Structure 1
Amino acid sequence: MVRCIRTTGLAVIATMVAGCAATGASAPVRAQGQAASPSVASPSAASPEPSTPAPAGSPAQVEAVLRKMSLEEKVGQLFMPVLYGPAADTSSPENRARYGVDTPAKMIEKYRPGGVILFPWANNVKGVRQVVALTNGLQKASPKIPLLVGADQENGRVSRLAPLVTDMPGASVIGSTGDPALARKAAKVTGTELKALGINLDFAPVADVNVNPRNPVIGPRAYGSNPKKVAPMVAAAVEGFHDAGIASTAKHFPGHGDTNVDSHTGLPVIQHSRAQWEKLDAPPFAAAIGADVDAIMSAHVVMPKLDPSGDPATLSKPILTGLLRDKLGFDGVVSTDALDMAGVRKKYGDAQVAVRAVQAGADILLMPPNYSAAYDGVLSAVKSGKISKARLDQSVRRVLKLKFNRGLLVKAPVADPDEAERVLRSPEHRKVARLINSRAR
């Protein structure tokens, strides 16, 4: 039976999301900017780093992999960069400028990141067979630990794989139907198509409640403005991605729905009290957690009544650890929003941003603008004790466990281009899109 919340804390949220995942079926059971500085050692040449004792419930396979990892490899697992080019062996001046190597494959061999994210503007998305060859090539470059290959495929306004994938309605259209089962169907279609392309993690669904009509960045990306209606939609979407066999990410915690500033270009401040946050922002995230969401993405927003430091949530331990982990009971992967956004770079340099995000509770550092500075910053922080080795192992375990849960820990599935061409934009998938549009109000 799908849980609606993992903790007895915040009873108001538990009450609000009661029945949040009642979508007709229970959740499926999980299967298993500069050249690098001289301090970046080749992970393959480094000695294994002793790991901290395994917590209760950690899979044996995860612990076996963790024990064999060097310190450099562990730090690498925290990063998810953008790599440039349509193929794993494409030489690119952008890759050389950012990573000190020519090709995506060489970057992966050098830094051993935990994952990569694909974007059209990075020349990653040209055609179905090209994307399949790219994702297979990226996985081939990481034989020891397969990659999380992510995409920002929300549908609607944010559709990074368009026009390759089915033109599925966005969240606001789905939300207007009032039927969470349609949210689940849409997510299953999208997840199935992403998986056929070799993409195993979607940065969706949006769990924000769009309570501010002047919001310049969320708007129709949200399922609506009523948390009681948004919460079951979010839970259903998580289940749909799981039906398709890929990981999902609820975003943007603790809530980006009441802003009039875009965190890509500025730092929004939300004056919600703790009681307002519990009532307006938290229910969809609690619902996602109840549906066993794989990851939750942080927001580059300041909520001074939740954390008076003035730091954005991405860098806030009271928010990421105090609220998300301790109060809502989330024990999965916390990803930052993109670290090249202005909202997270107002106060600190790129190395310090990465370190502070890990200290706050983040496990994946998404798209650092200066990769070598961020990587070296985290590595140095661990060596100095600023980030404890136990804290590092905690994040690496979560990333490895996500991979284990999605069948990615030992060997990534090889995507089949013929199967991808059959699945993407199939008649049955387009039928689902038409059904949702016909039910929209």
Structure 2
Amino acid sequence: MSVALGPVMIDVASTTLDNSDRALLEHPSVGGVVLFARNLESPAQCRALCEAIRSQRPDILISVDHEGGRVQRLREGLTSLPPMCAFGHRYPEQPQQTLALVHECGWLMSQELAACGVDFSFAPVLDVDEKLSKVIGERSFSPVPAQVSTLAGALLDGFDEGGMASVGKHFPGHGGVEADSHLELPVDERSLAALEAHDLIPFTELASRLTAVMPSHVRYPAFDPNPTGFSAAWLDYLRNTLGFSGAILSDDLSMHGASFAGGPVERAQLALQAGCDAVLVCNDRDAARAVLDSVAPEDERAARLAALRRTQPLPSLDVLKALPRWQHAHDSLTALAAQYGY
């Protein structure tokens, strides 16, 4: 019998499950697991870990940050993907060839993660690079909003072909602040009109195509005093102005940018009340337990989260690597990544 997905995404301790992990996975409020570099040694080990997790909870979501460039948690045995800025740099002079390669990047990323047992990556990054944010920087496709939309759209085409859900981040745009929300709470003083004319363009143009959206831990006080992921006004704007109907996933509540809301339970409650469908509580086991005990599954949230689950059969990595298409995409992307030091 299928169990409704709970509204909390957690982490596990290591490369295999221990008894503490297993006990936590049994909690009915768990909806997903986020994998980190410490959990990952090789594609075969990753797939075995995912199978062990699903032996505890068959319907659970398994995710990873796998964007390319410096944000690629599993490297051994998989293609080294370039940072997304590499495509933005090529696009003005080679638009069609670049879009085709971005499509292949999305397809290859989807297929390689599937072979590892993972449902989805937290991608694409839709932030517009304002040359301010070091934590975004090369993760952004471009400083030109229309190019971010176009290039991210091609990546989504590849995700769609490969059967992988998408998570657009960090709504409504993290590129216009210098501070790193992992370490502090950034404040962007621009008006809604200014954001709509710039940072919000990729989210506006791609809202109907995204499976999920991750809001930023950034304050935009000209619109609402609360950071986006805790702002009913911002999440209402996302749903009712932009027409987004998918899942809303909080950024990790253990980040300092979330600390204004209080302790872990207060952070989770505020994010869920604002309109998030799931909250990420990672790298703090005591916080995860407290949050899990304070919330419960809800059918409407669970239905939106279920769309993130991969439904196609998981491919074999060996079979995938035997495909001429994989080899061509792998060679092209590896060469591009090498130009950026990856």
* TM-score where L is the length of structure 2: 0.89
CA distance in 2, matches of 1:417, 1:170: 23
Q: 1: CA distance between counterparts of 2:128 and 2:27?
A: 41
Counterpart of 1:428, as a letter, is H
Q: Which residue type is aligned with residue 231 of structure 1?
A: S
Equivalent residue number for residue 214 of structure 2: 297
Cα pair 1:250 1:285 within 8 Å, conserved? yes
List per-residue Cα deviations over 1:145-164 (Å, max 9, x = no partner).
Answer: x1211010010021111133
- Residue number among 299, 303, 311 corresponding to 1:407 in the alignment: 311
Retained in 1: the 8 A contact 2:80–2:337? Answer: no
| SS, match of residue 128 in structure 2 | coil
Displacement of 1:167 after TM fit? Answer: 0.8
- Write the distance in 1 (CA, Å) between the matches of 2:42 and 2:262: 39
Checking the alignment, whether the CA contact within 8 Å between 1:128 and 1:420 is kept in structure 2 is no
8 Å CA contact 1:352–1:377 kept in 2: the answer is: no
Contact 2:27 2:292 in 1 (8 A): no
Unpaired stretches in structure 1, ≥5 consecutive residues: 1-43, 45-64, 92-101, 380-388
Using the TM superposition, give the Cα deviation of residue 198 of structure 1 relative to its aligned residue in structure 2, in angstroms. 0.6
Residues 234-281 of structure 1, C-alpha deviation per residue, up to 9 Å, x if partnerless?
111122111111111110011101011000000000011111111111
Amino acid at match of 1:319: W
Following the alignment from structure 2 to structure 1, what is the Cα–Cα distance between the partners of residues 338 and 101?
Answer: 11
Give the 5 Å matches for 1:229-240: 229-240=147-158
Give how far 1:128 is off: 1.9
Give the structure 1 partner of residue 302 of structure 2.
Answer: 396
Does the Cα contact within 8 Å between 1:136 and 1:414 map onto a contact in 2? no
**1:325: how far off?**
0.4
Letter in 2 for 1:221: R
Aligned with residue 291 of structure 2, among 331, 353, 374: 374
Note if 1:269 corresponds to 2:181.
Answer: no
Counterpart of 2:231?
Answer: 316
Provide the C-alpha distance between the structure 2 equivalents of 1:185 and 1:426, rounded to a whole number of angstroms.
9
Contact 2:133 2:176 in 1 (8 A): yes
Confirm or deny: 8 A CA contact 1:201 1:248 kept in the other structure. yes
Could you give the per-residue CA deviations for residues 347-375 of structure 1, whole angstroms, max 9, x where no partner exists? Answer: 32210110111111111111254012212
SS of residue matched to 1:247: coil
3-state DSSP of counterpart to 1:344:
helix
Deviation at residue 421 of structure 1 after TM alignment = 7.1
**2:16 alignment partner, one of 66, 87, 102:** 87
Contact between 1:238 and 1:288, CA under 8 Å: does it hold in 2?
no
**Separation (CA, whole Å) in 2 of partners of 1:80 and 1:438:** 33
Cα pair distance change 1:417/1:163, threshold 3 Å? closer
Distance 1:127 1:350, change over 3 A: same
Matches for 1:6-25 after TM superposition, within 5 Å: none
Q: Among residues 425, 428, 433, which one is paired with 2:328 in the alignment?
A: 428
The aligned counterpart of 1:131 is: 46
Could you give the per-residue CA deviations for residues 374-413 of structure 1, whole angstroms, max 9, x where no partner exists?
Answer: 122324xxxxxxxxx9xx332122112443xx428xxxx5
Among residues 160, 166, 170, which one is paired with 2:79 in the alignment? 166
Tell me the residue number matched to 2:114. 195
Which amino acid in structure 1 is aligned with residue 69 of structure 2? G
CA drift at 1:127: 1.4
* Aligned Cα root-mean-square deviation (Å): 2.5
1:85 is matched by which residue type in structure 2? S
Kindly provide the amino acid, as one letter, of the partner of residue 400 in structure 1: A
Q: 1:104 to 1:439 in 2, by over 3 A?
A: closer
Number of equivalences: 330
**TM-score, normalised via structure 1 length:** 0.70
> Can you list the C-alpha shifts for 1:18-48, whole angstroms capped at 9, x where unaligned?
xxxxxxxxxxxxxxxxxxxxxxxxxx9xxxx
Correspondence for 1:56:
none
1:96 alignment counterpart: none
Task: Report the Cα distance in structure 1 between the residues aligned to 2:159 and 2:195, rounded to whole angstroms.
Answer: 27
Comparing 179-188 with 339-348, greater Cα deviation is found at 179-188
1:209 aligns with 2:128: yes
Give ranges in structure 2 of 5+ residues lacking alignment: 92-97
CA shift in 2, pair 1:437/1:402, >3 Å: closer
Match of 1:30 in 2: none
Q: Distance in 2 between matches of 1:288 and 1:165?
A: 28
Structure 2 letter corresponding to 1:160: R
CA contact (8 A) 2:186 2:219 kept: yes
* Residue of structure 2 aligned with 1:227, choices 145, 152, 162: 145
Separation (CA, whole Å) in 1 of partners of 2:276 and 2:29: 18
> Match of 1:349?
263
Distance 2:204 2:336 in 1: 25
Q: Distance in 2 between matches of 1:439 and 1:214?
A: 23
- Rounded to whole Å, the distance in 2 between the matches of 1:173 and 1:421 is 24
Partner of 1:40: none
Q: Contact between 1:335 and 1:364, CA under 8 Å: does it hold in 2?
A: yes
CA distance in structure 1 between the aligned counterparts of 2:320 and 2:107, rounded to whole angstroms: 15
Segment of structure 1 superposing worse, 294-303 or 110-119: 110-119
- Aligned-pair CA distance for 1:104: 2.9
3-state SS of paired residue (1:77):
coil
